[in-house]
């Protein structure tokens, strides 16, 4: 009996089998490659976190005018000079933005051994009287008690109670927003400039009442349409600027009514013609 040995040539295997082996190889190699690269980067990151040449040496601070640099450094808590990769940027931002004068901050790492902190400070638009004086910004955010030396630098908003603010009373908030909107308009107004306003009183019945710094004249502007009312006032301003006035009422349609201090006399000025009518 003759035995025949049959050998299989690998090159003669079915093509489907070869494709199967290729798939298995790819499926196996991809996770191994990803794991290897991840391990390499993780090892490099851990090495760099402990590298002495990445320890914090320089802190640049920009944008701070009111908040002292030493105070920012204390809030940032970088006095122990940590490695810049180990700094928790989000936590550092939260600490800085907890300061009443800091509205926002941006922090960037500067390799190999520095960070840059850019501060956005709040900009007061006015003071608000709530038993004591507080700064309020253009968004209506009441953020810090005012110092005595700056009380004359901003108009004072009155007519809102502390409990209205604490309870977030809707009417009070609406009036405050209108007052800030009006003050923002006056920053570019020549007839009634921002610096000429000493007080804005918020009256729930009649709206906004402005008081000027020099003569204490009351200017009644109501609840809205402030831009048009200021334009009407500018048209008759040359005729009334030299008068000693106790009030100027801009809330009457097509007229501006003024009251003189000494005589108690009232006059009405038509919007279009500028013709004066005594009453």
Give average pLDDT by consecutive 10-residue segment, the chain, 279 residues.
Answer: 50 60 65 59 47 81 95 87 84 94 94 93 95 93 86 90 92 95 92 93 96 92 94 89 90 89 68 43
Residue 258 and residue 270 in contact, taking contact as beta carbons nearer than 8 Å: no
- pLDDT for the residue 276: 47
CA distance 191 to 237: 7
- pLDDT for the residue 35: 55
- pLDDT for the residue 254: 83
- Based on DSSP, count helices (H) and strands (E) in the chain, helices before strands: 6, 14
| Residue found by looking up tokens 């509205």 in the block | 103
| Residue found by looking up tokens 């320890």 in the block | 55
DSSP single-letter state for residue 212: E
- pLDDT for the residue 275: 44
Residues 271, 236, 255, 174, Cα dihedral to 10°: 100
DSSP single-letter state for residue 126: E
- pLDDT for the residue 274: 45
For 279, the 3-state DSSP assignment is coil
**pLDDT per residue over 72-81, tens digit each?**
999 988 877 7
Closest CA to 229 of 260, 196, 207, 244: 207
- pLDDT for the residue 34: 64
- pLDDT for the residue 134: 95
Taken in order 196, 172, 247, 240, is the CA torsion positive or negative? Answer: positive
Residue 173 and residue 140 in contact, taking contact as beta carbons nearer than 8 Å: yes
DSSP single-letter state for residue 83: B
Could you tell me the domains of the chain?
Answer: 54-121 (3.10.20.310), 124-278 (3.40.50.11690)
- pLDDT for the residue 183: 96
CA distance 134 to 126: 8
């Amino acid at each position: 009996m003759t035995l025949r040995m049959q050998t299989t040539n690998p090159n003669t295997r079915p093509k489907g089998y070869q494709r199967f082996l290729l798939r298995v190889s790819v499926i196996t190699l991809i996770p191994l490659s990803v794991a290897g690269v991840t391990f390499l980067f993780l090892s490099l990151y851990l090495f760099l976190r402990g590298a002495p040449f990445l320890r914090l040496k320089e802190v640049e601070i920009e944008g701070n005018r009111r908040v002292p640099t030493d105070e920012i450094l204390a809030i940032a808590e970088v006095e122990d000079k940590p490695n810049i990769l180990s700094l928790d940027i989000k936590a550092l931002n939260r600490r800085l933005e907890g300061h009443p004068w800091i509205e926002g901050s941006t922090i960037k790492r500067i390799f190999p051994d520095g960070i840059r902190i850019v501060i956005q400070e709040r900009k007061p638009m006015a003071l608000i009287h709530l038993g004591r004086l507080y700064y309020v910004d253009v968004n209506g955010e009441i953020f810090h008690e005012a110092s005595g030396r700056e009380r004359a630098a901003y108009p004072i908003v009155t007519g809102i109670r502390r409990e209205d603010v604490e309870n977030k009373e809707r009417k009070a908030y609406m009036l405050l927003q209108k007052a800030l909107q009006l003050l923002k308009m006056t920053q570019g107004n020549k007839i009634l400039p921002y610096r000429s306003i000493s007080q804005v009183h918020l009256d729930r019945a009649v709206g906004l009442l402005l008081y000027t710094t020099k003569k204490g004249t009351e200017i009644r502007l109501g609840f809205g349409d402030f831009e048009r009312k200021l334009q009407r006032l500018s048209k008759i301003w040359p005729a009334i600027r030299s008068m000693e006035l106790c009030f100027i009422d801009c809330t009457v349609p097509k007229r501006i009514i003024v009251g003189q201090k000494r005589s108690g006399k009232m006059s009405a000025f038509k919007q279009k013609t500028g013709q004066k009518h005594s009453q």
